[in-house]
A and B are shown apart, each in its own frame.
Chain A
C-alpha cells in the first residue's frame, strides 16, 4: 500500500516523477502536433497515425477519444475526472469498452490536448489506445482479490504497460497489438483472443512462470491463440515480448489491412516456425538489459498490496445477508462474487440497463459510483471485460446498504452473466466502420429476454456492428454480427463461442436476418436450451453437448426456409 499526501493510501500503481514527466511531455508533444495539423503544417495523412496513438479516432459524428484504463484499475478520483471530461467536453456520458477503456464519442480535436492535460493530472493518458502499436494491457477485473488466483497479474501488467509505452521500435507495427494477462484458474481476461497473452502460474518450487500464447484475435479471421512457450521465467517477460514484436514487425503482412494481424503471420509460418524465429532472437536478448529485476518487481508490487481489511471481518455470508427482498437476493446471487478474504465480497455494478447502451454511464452516475467506491471499497474500482464496473473490496456487512444505494441509482440490475448482460460495440449509431447498429439490437434482445433470463441463467450474448468484432460476437455463447445487405442492416447469428479457459469460436447458424427478427430468433435459441438442458447445464454446456443443429432448426423454422428458397 502506498501512502500518499494527507495520510490517504492508494491501492494502485502511483506515478513517480519520471512517469509524471513522460505523460506531461507527451501532452505538450500532442498539443504541438495538433497545432501543426490545425494550421496546415502537418497533413491529415501525417497527423492520422499521431492522433490515433493518442486515442483520437474520426467517427461518425465527431472525433472519438479513447482513454486508457490500464488493466481496468481506476480510482474514485480518476473516475471523477472522467465524469468532468464527459460533462465539459462531451455530451455528459462515456462508454466503457471490452478492453477496459473508456470512450468519449463527442469530443472536438481542438479540445483533445486540454483533455489529455486533465487526465495527466490524475495519472491517466490516452497513449496507444488506438493505432498500429501495442495497445492498453488488459487483465482479470478481479485481479488481486479473486479466490481462484494463482498469481496477481497486476505488477506484470504495469511493467508491460511501461515497457510498451512509447517503445521506439514498435510504434508502427503492421497492425494493432493487444496484450492480456490471466493469473487465475478461470480465464476472465479473454486471453485466447489476444495477439499476445500470458497465463501466469507458479511452478513446482513456487517461481512465477508464464505460458505464452500468440495469434489470437477476432475480426474477419477469428483465431484462438496458440502456445509458443510453456515455462517462461517472469524475468524474461520483456525480452521475450521484444523478440515476438520484432518478428512480427519485420515479417507481418503490410500489403493487406485484413491480413496484417500477427495471427495471420503465425498461421502462415506455423506456430513452431514462428516460435523458432522468436527463440533465435531471444537467445541473443536473454539476460540482456531488459531482463526484469527483483528490485523492480518489488517496487511495482508494493503498489498493489491489500487495503486495510478489517481483521477479523464480520462474516455475514451471502445467503444469510439475503433477507426477504427478492431483488436483493437475486443481486446477491448474480452481482456479488467471491473474495479471497473471509467477510469480503466483490460487487459488480451493472451498466446493462433497459434502453441504455451497454457500458454507458452518465457523468452523474460516474460521480455517484466514485462516492460508492470511496465509502464501500477503499476508493478503488475495476472496469470489466463485460463492460461493467466492479467494487473489488466490499465488506459483507455493507452489502445491503450498498445495494440500497446502487438500486436507487439504477446500478443494481441483478443481471451479471445473464442474457441482458450483453457485450455490444457502439455500432452504427457512432462508429464510422460499422455496417449496422448494435445498440437497438441489444435493446430489442433486452426487452425480449428480460422476463426469461432468470430461468435461462448464465448466457453471454455478444453483438458486433461489423466484422471488426469489437463486440466479440465470435466468442459469445450467442453472437450477433451486423452485416450490410444492399444498404440495409442485417444480422448473422452464431452459437457456441466462449472466451474463458475453454475458449471456442461460435458457428454461424445460417443466413442473416433483418433487424426485427434478431430478438425473436434469439428467444427461440434460448427455448431450445430450456427444452434440452440437463440438470445444472448452462447454455454453453448444452450447446457443446448437442451441437448447433437443433439451434439451426429453431433459428430458421420451415416456412422461412421455403421462402428463402
Chain B
C-alpha cells in the first residue's frame, strides 16, 4: 500500500491518501473551471493556460509517466514561478524515492508515491543533499547565500 507524503512546516510527513479525482486540462478548459477543484497536467500541457483562472482550484497535480521523464519538473517550476500558484502542487505517477528531493526543490509539496515505495524511507530523501547551487523554488542562488553564509570571505 502506497502513501502520500506532504511537506509541512515541520518537514515531510506521511499523510492519508485522499482519493482525489483530478480533471485533465482539456476537461477543465471545456467546463471553464466550474466546480473542479483538482486538475492534472500531463507532460505536454502548458501550465500558463491557467493564467488568471486558478481561483476555484485547490490542487494542481503533475503527472510523471516514468521517473526519468523530466518535463514535470519544468511544468512545476513554471506553475510556481510564472503562474504564481501557491496552492498544493502534487506529483503523481512514477513518483519514487530518488526523485523526491529535486521535485520538492521545483515546488512540489505533495507526493503520491508509486506502488512499492517505502514511505517511511522516503522521508529521508529530502535531506540527503543540503547544499544547492542554484535558485529554484527553494530560495536564493548559491552565490547570494554564500555571501550571507561566509560573509563574503573564504
- Give me the interface of A with B, judged by CB distance under 8 Å: 2, 14, 16-19, 21-22, 25-26, 28-29, 32-33, 41-42, 46, 49-50, 132, 159, 162-163, 165-174, 238, 246, 249-250, 254, 284, 288-290, 292-293, 295-296, 299
Contacts and interface: CB of A to CB of B under 8 A. Distances in A.
Contacts of B132: 166, 168
Nearest to B44: A250
B115 interface: no
B133 A162 contact: yes
28 contacts: A16-B150, A16-B154, A18-B131, A21-B130, A22-B129, A22-B131, A26-B129, A29-B128, A29-B129, A41-B118, A46-B67, A49-B68, A50-B98, A132-B68, A163-B134, A163-B142, A166-B129, A167-B134, A168-B102, A168-B103, A168-B134, A170-B70, A171-B70, A249-B71, A249-B73, A250-B75, A254-B69, A289-B144
Interface string B119-154: 000000000111111111000111110110110101
Contacts of A132: 68, 70
A162 B131 contact: no
B133 A163 contact: yes
A534 to B, nearest CB: 52
B38 interface: no
Interface of B: 67-71, 73-75, 77-78, 82, 96, 98, 101-103, 105-106, 118, 128-136, 140-144, 146-147, 149-150, 152, 154
Contacts of A17: 150
Given A33-B98, A295-B143, A295-B152, A246 B77 contact: yes
B71 to A, nearest CB: 6
Given A16-B150, A17-B150, A172 B70 contact: yes
Contacts of B77: 169, 246
A288 B131 contact: no
A169 B106 contact: yes
Contacts of B135: 288-290
A22 to B, nearest CB: 4
B67 A171 contact: no
Contacts of A2: 154
Contact of B149 (A18, A28, A168, A293): A18
Given A25-B129, A49-B68, 6 more contacts: A18-B131, A28-B128, A42-B98, A168-B73, A293-B143, A296-B143
Nearest to A248: B74
B81 to A, nearest CB: 8
Contact of A25 (B131, B134, B150, B152): B131
Contacts of B147: 295
Contacts of B71: 249-250, 254
B133 A165 contact: yes
Contact of B73 (A14, A42, A171, A292): A171
A18 B134 contact: no
B48 to A, nearest CB: 10
B32 to A, nearest CB: 26
Contacts of A162: 133-134, 142
A35 B102 CA distance: 21
A200 B26 CA distance: 45
A49 B146 contact: no
A290 B141 contact: yes
Contacts of B130: 21, 25
A26 B129 CA distance: 7
